[in-house]
Chain A
Amino acid sequence: MTADAGALATLPARGPLALLMARLRGRGLPWLSMLMLAIVIVAAIGGEALAPHDPNGLDLGAAFRPPAWAEKGSWAYPLGTDNLGRDILSRIIAGARVSVVSALYAIVFAGSIGGLIGMISGYFGGIVDAVIMRLVDIQLSIPALALALVIAAVFGADFGTVIVVIIVTYWTWYARIVRGEILSLKEREYVALAKVAGCGTGTIFFRHLLPNIMNTLLVLSTLQVGQVIIFEASLSFLGLGIQAPDVSWGLMLSDARNYLTNAWWAITMPGIAIMLTCLSANMVGDWLRDTLDPKRRQL
């Protein structure tokens, strides 16, 4: 009762965060997904320090150990070992960093560049809008992986290539959707009033428009995390992304493909890591969208 009263008391000053916290009560799935994402982030920060073994520690005597619950498995290597006796759990923990960093780059750079371009396009309209939208079309006319192949052929395969391709690919998403939002927002009276009151374009953008598209940006970023992680894994799998001795989930799958017949766990475990992370990110994204914008449930 007192807790409820407390919650009600905070209602008038309710920001988005408080709204989210209130909506989270008694919901299992979003909590579980957020917990999963938190585990991945902790693994990404801790990396090697958290891993039970050295992710690159070779031990040929321990090669091809199955997971602990399987026959001949041991808890020293909970998820088994690969062809060189490296502990798969440790490698999954170490590989989380690449996935999280890729997703962060996409959110921060693709999000801010795409978001700003979308705002400019929607707000100014006319020729600016036409040019920007044609650029988006051009970008969309080259499949992301194909562009990655061209860039990798030129600059060589490394993490930098992956980051460049991710930013170049994903800004269009933000630009298109933010543009759509701005088109309707700019017709609102408060924008006209701000103009009359003498606000500069910068003020209108960042004080009046930006807060109104924050929810959209948040939802888009979350929904994009899964896609970016899969994209990075695909590039590393093809040998166009992360290179050994660095570890990434896609690279682990690429290695494991060579001894598919010997170790089913080596191909299964990193894939499960990718799947659970993406699943959690998508669930949080869906939930955020439904919570922040109930009108769009069908999207």
Chain B
Amino acid sequence: MLLYILKRVGQGLISIVGASIVIFFVSRLSGDPIVLLLPTEAPPAVVEQVRRDMGLAEPLWRQYLIFAGNALTGDFGNSYRWQAPALSLVLDRLPATIYLALAALLFSILLSVPFGVLSAVYRGSWIDTLGKGFAMLGQAMPNFWVGLLLILVLAIGFNLLPAYGYGTPAHIIMPAIALGWYPVAAQTRIVRSAMLDVLDSDYIRMGRAVGASERVLIWKYALRNAAIPLVTILGVYFAAMLGGAFVVETIFAWPGVGRTVVEAVFSRDFPVVQAGVLLTSILFVTSNLLVDLSYGLIDPRIRYDR
């Protein structure tokens, strides 16, 4: 068990270091960052001075080591645009993104669990077909389009919800639906097939034989086991939500990491882009890691000593 945890944590660290290498070298492919910092008419002596001060005269691999070393202490440099530490700019926006991702996840669970259970219990019925159709539609609609349609109908058409912004509980509803729509399909499928397996098992048949009510059997005993695959995969979807948040935050003017990074791309504010993307990767790897490690806690039948 311990060995397994160490191995997975090690793999996670390799992924994060790899991600930082990719992010660093891709950013440097643009050529000299000096060009962005100084006016074009700056005298060559000044350019040389700044280059040396910023460590840009060093070979690339040493620059990467310096970048990684600074990143470990939380220093990504200052934002070119805001003159403030890039990491703190991004970290300030992190709670809003996590709030949005969790709300989206909650929305997708509220939809996929009942749909998954009902389509397993009433296999082949209209509910099953409806669930399938719904899921297929969800996977074919881009999240930003869902968001725009929601704004069009709920905010502009019926004036029910604020079209964008942050603050009240009403503000979270549309972004959460737009972001949480996509995983519903896959989650429904997971719950459905897990439920089909469980409903077929001995203990459910046993429960039926001793006269337990069908409702208790399905929603209490069966769902508790059928939910294991869903719970274990939620971390993966949480991570996916972080990626989707880049677009959804932009439409709803949601003050999260995604929107900050998108804005930074347009002003070519590399420190903020690097800090934001690396932070997203770290969250991504961490939640996937927690998923793997949580298997054993959620389902004691799983052992790691294989």
A274 to B274, CA, bound (A): 31
Assembled-state Cα–Cα distance A239/B262 (Å): 10
Segment among A59-67, A150-158, A210-218 that sits at the interface with chain B:
A150-158
For residues 14 through 56 of chain B, which have their beta carbon under 8 Å from a beta carbon of chain A?
14-16, 18-19, 22-23, 26-27, 29-30
Q: Which residues of B contact A140 (CB under 8 A)?
A: 15
Docked pose: A142 CA to B23 CA in angstroms: 9
Tell whether A138 pairs with B15 under 8 Å between CB atoms, given A261-B156, A275-B140: yes
Shortest CB-to-CB span from A233 to chain B, Å, is 5
Q: A146-B281, A253-B144 are in contact. Are A141 and B262 (CB under 8 A)?
A: no
- Select the stretch in B67-75, B147-155, B219-227 that faces chain A: B147-155
In B112-160, the 8 Å CB interface with A consists of 136-137, 139-145, 148-149, 151-152, 156
A186 to B268, CA, bound (A): 48
B277 at the interface (CB under 8 A from A): yes
Q: Does the CB pair A154–B148 fall under 8 Å? A: no
Q: How far is the CB of B93 from chain A (nearest CB, A)?
A: 14
Contact among A144, A267, A271, A298 with B141 in the assembled complex (CB-CB below 8 Å): A271
Q: Report the contact-size class of chain A (Cβ under 8 Å from the partner).
A: 35 or more
B78 at the interface (CB under 8 A from A): no
CB atoms of A155 and B149 under 8 A apart: no
Interface string of A22-62 (1 = CB under 8 A from B): 00000000000000000000000000000000000000000
A228 → chain B, closest Cβ, in Å? 12
A278 CA / B143 CA spacing, docked (Å): 13
A233–B140 Cα distance when bound, in Å, is: 12
How far is B245's CA from A145's CA once the two chains are assembled, in angstroms?
9
Q: Which of B165-173, B210-218, B246-254, B296-304 contacts A (4 or more CB under 8 A)?
A: B246-254
Contact B273 A143 (CB under 8 A): no
Contact: A253 with B145, CB < 8 Å? yes
A104 in the interface (beta carbon within 8 A): no
Is A191 on the interface with B (CB-CB < 8 A)? no
> Do the beta carbons of A278 and B280 come within 8 Å of each other?
no
CA distance A242 to B27 in the complex (A): 21
Bound-state CA distance A226–B137 (Å) is 11
> Is the contact region of chain B dominated by helix, strand, or loop, or is it mixed?
helix
Q: Is A279's CB under 8 angstroms from B243's CB? A: no
User: Which B residues touch A274, using CB under 8 A?
Assistant: 140-142, 145
Tell whether A247 is near chain B: CB-to-CB under 8 Å. Answer: no
Interface 1/0s, chain B 229-269, versus A by CB < 8 A? 00000000001101110110011000000000110111010
Shortest C-beta distance, A57 to chain B (Å), equals: 25
Residue of B nearest to A135 (CB): B18
Q: How large is the interface on B (under 10, 10 to 19, 20 to 34, 35 or more residues)?
A: 35 or more
A260–B251 Cα distance when bound, in Å, is 12
Which residues of the partner chain B approach A237 to less than 8 Å between Cβ atoms? 142, 144, 247
Asked if A149 and B273 sit within 8 Å, CB to CB, the answer is yes
A264 within 8 A of B: yes
Quick one: CB contact mask for A90-119 with B, threshold 8 Å, 1 for yes?
000000000000000000000000000000
Q: How far is the CB of A97 from chain B (nearest CB, A)?
A: 18
A271 contact set on B, CB distance < 8 A: 141-142, 145, 148-149
Q: B270 within 8 Å of A by Cβ? A: yes
Question: Once the chains bind, are A279 and B262 in contact (CB under 8 Å)?
Answer: no
B284 touches A143 (CB 8 A): yes
Q: In the assembled complex, which residues on chain B have CB atoms less than 8 Å from the CB atom of A152? A: 265
Q: Any chain A CB within 8 A of the CB of B285?
A: yes
Q: Which of A283-297 contact B (CB under 8 A)?
A: 283
A268 contacts partner chain B, Cβ-Cβ < 8 Å:
yes
Residue of B18, B143, B251 most packed against chain A (CB within 10 A): B18
Judge whether B193 is part of the interface by a CB distance below 8 angstroms.
Answer: yes
Verify B30–A154 contact, CB threshold 8 A: yes
Option from B139, B142, B143, B280 in Cβ contact (under 8 Å) with A146: B280
B11 at interface, CB cutoff 8 A: yes
Min CB distance A286 to B, Å, is 8
Cα separation A264 to B156 with both chains bound (whole Å): 10
Interface residues of A in 116-162 (CB under 8 A from B): 134-135, 137-138, 140-147, 149-155
Q: A264 — which chain B residues lie within 8 A by C-beta?
A: 152
Smallest CB separation, B11 vs chain A (Å) = 6
Residue of A whose beta carbon sits closest to that of B148? A267
Would you call A257 an interface residue if the criterion is a C-beta within 8 Å of the partner chain's C-beta atoms? yes
Q: Can you show 30 pairs from A to B with CB atoms below 8 A apart?
A: A134-B11, A134-B14, A138-B19, A141-B16, A141-B281, A141-B285, A142-B22, A143-B239, A143-B280, A146-B246, A146-B280, A153-B264, A153-B268, A153-B273, A154-B27, A233-B145, A234-B143, A239-B266, A253-B148, A256-B148, A257-B148, A260-B152, A264-B152, A267-B145, A268-B152, A271-B142, A274-B140, A275-B140, A276-B140, A298-B193
| Residues of A that sit less than 8 Å from B by CB | 134-135, 137-138, 140-147, 149-155, 226, 230, 233-234, 237-240, 250, 253, 256-257, 260-261, 264, 267-268, 271, 274-279, 282-283, 298
20 other A-B residue contacts (CB within 8 Å) besides A149-B261, A257-B148: A134-B14, A138-B18, A142-B281, A143-B284, A145-B243, A145-B244, A146-B243, A146-B261, A149-B246, A149-B262, A149-B277, A153-B27, A154-B26, A154-B30, A155-B29, A230-B140, A260-B156, A271-B148, A279-B136, A298-B193
Q: Which 9 A-B pairs have the closest CB atoms?
A: A143-B243, A138-B18, A278-B140, A154-B30, A279-B140, A141-B15, A271-B145, A153-B265, A146-B277
